[in-house]
Amino acid sequence: MTTDDTPPPAGNLPGDRPSPTPDPLHQNRLDMEAQSLQYPLPAGVRHEAITIGQVSCEWAIPDDADPDTCIVYAHGGAFCVGSVISHRPLVSHIAKACGCAVIAVDYRLAPEHKFPAAADDVFTVYRAMLDTYRHIIPMGDSAGGSLAAGIPLQAREHGLPMPAGLVMLSPWLDLSCSARSFETNAASDPFMKRDGAIFVVRGYLKKADPCQPLASPVFADLHDFPPTLLQVSAQEVLLDDSTRFAERAEAAGVAVQLSVWQGVHHVWHFLSDTQPQAREAIAEIGRFVRSLTPPATTV
């Protein structure tokens, strides 16, 4: 086992792990976590740290949590930044809107850990949830959207039960960075440019093929995928990742809902305390998840 593939020590809880990364990247990670403090947490959601195997995670559990349903959440951050801390406010609002527990995965980050370490960590948590929950919905934003979409691919490969649904927020689904919207939306997206995306991909994939399905789910065989919701900004460079995935999913017979939002930026959901579109998008996620898990009926 190489250094890139070595998981963090068991029992290492979110926020407590040392970072061997270069100072600029380490500072970026700290800054992203500090920035999350400006976003208020919703009332009625509690948080609990947990380790699944050797993967650090954090629960966000609303007071009215459905005991049969959970969301496995993969945070964004270009595979190299982000954590359960940076995404705690967003995950908490999603948990409350969906009325179920959300387990956020503190997966291993690049460049210290190469592909498919992050995907393996997220799938490890999904497998563990199968022992407890009837309905499991992978969900993720940006790079985490790719990791969430990898769960049904790996479940199908391993002959395990498929998720009840799939939700992706501004997902990055094509690591070849070949989407035309990288050009057409370059001027309207202040957060992501093709050159920077290619640089990040090299640190994450190393020498792996960017077009392989687990890295770029837009190229995957999507038959038997669960009902899927994609939310994306019309102005972001990742727009075509969502539209192309939706087209392929529909062609494969998947029940897919593509929700394109105007006048917002990449993963605008973070601004739910100030932006109506963010609150509306999270409410849409809640309706979608609840539609997948109707309440049990008694005879």
Please state the rounded mean pLDDT for residues 179-195.
Answer: 95
Please say whether the structural domain 42-292 has been given the CATH code 3.40.1190.20.
no
pTM higher than 0.85 for the full model? yes
- The burial of 218, by beta-carbon neighbours within 10 Å (0-12 exposed, 13-18 middle, 19 or more buried), is given as buried
Rounded to an integer, what is the distance from CA 60 to the centroid of its chain?
A: 15
Q: Indicate the pLDDT class of residue 23, thresholds 50, 70 and 90.
A: confident
Q: Domain ranges in the chain?
A: 42-292
pLDDT mean over 13-27: 61
Residues above pLDDT 90, as percent of the chain: 89
Q: What confidence score (pLDDT) does residue 37 get?
A: 87
Cis peptide before 116 (omega within 30 of 0): yes
Active site positions, annotated:
142, 236, 266
Q: What is the pLDDT of residue 204?
A: 97
pLDDT band at 294; cut points 50, 70, 90: confident
Residues of the chain with pLDDT > 70, as a percent, come to: 91
> How many beta carbons lie within 10 A of that of residue 153, not counting itself?
18
Mean pLDDT of 208-236: 98
User: Mean pLDDT, to the nearest integer, of 124-133?
Assistant: 98
